[in-house]
């Protein structure tokens, strides 16, 4: 009987131990369930955040492509402006050189005009002098004709 009692006692201890292990296992299972639910909830949140992040990344990539395209366009415009500036700079240099040449020609023309004006003034004076001489010669000629006519009349009357 003692053996049976011992055995019953061992069985009872074993049962108590197993019940404790069962309670502990249930507790661990409940803990695991809570942790699983928490992890599942965090996973849903993270998946939502991931989806939003991916959408933002797509928007950012699209904006980056758009900005790159704008940058290429602006770069082309800048190159065009630089080329235009160089072209206009070359034209400006050419025009400045042309202006210098025209200024030199103007100075030469002014010098020639002044010389021509002086020559014209001298020629006008010469013409005036010659006209005076001509007028004097005509008067003299008229006087000589009158004298000749007078002399011829006197000779004819003799």
Q: What is the pLDDT of residue 148?
A: 93
DSSP state letters, the chain = -HHHHHHHHHHHHHHHHHHHHHHHHHHHHHHHHHHHHHHHHHHHHHHHHHHHHHHHHHHHHHHHHHHHHHHHHHHHHHHHHHHHHHHHHHHHHHHHHHHHHHHHHHHHHHHHHHHHHHHHHHHHHHHHHHHHHHHHHHHHHHHHHHHHHHHHHHHHH-
Residue 158 pLDDT greater than 80, yes or no: no
**Each residue of 36-52: pLDDT tens digit?**
999 999 999 999 999 99
Q: Residues 66-111: pLDDT tens digits?
A: 999 999 999 999 999 999 999 999 999 999 999 999 999 999 999 9
Residue 8 has pLDDT above 90, yes or no: no
């Amino acid at each position: 009987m003692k053996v049976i009692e011992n055995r019953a006692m061992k069985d009872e201890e074993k049962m108590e131990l197993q019940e404790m292990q069962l309670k502990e296992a249930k507790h661990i299972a409940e803990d695991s369930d809570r942790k699983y639910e928490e992890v599942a909830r965090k996973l849903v949140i993270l998946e939502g955040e991931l989806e939003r992040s991916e959408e933002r990344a797509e928007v950012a990539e699209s904006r980056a492509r758009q900005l790159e395209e704008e940058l290429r366009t602006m770069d082309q415009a800048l190159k065009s402006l630089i080329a235009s500036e160089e072209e206009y700079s070359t034209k400006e240099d050419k025009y400045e050189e042309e202006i210098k040449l025209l200024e030199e020609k103007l100075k030469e023309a002014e010098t020639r005009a002044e010389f021509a004006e002086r020559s014209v003034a001298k020629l006008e004076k010469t013409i005036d002098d010659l006209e005076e001489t001509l007028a004097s010669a005509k008067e003299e000629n008229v006087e000589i004709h009158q004298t000749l006519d007078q002399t011829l009349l006197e000779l004819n009357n003799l």
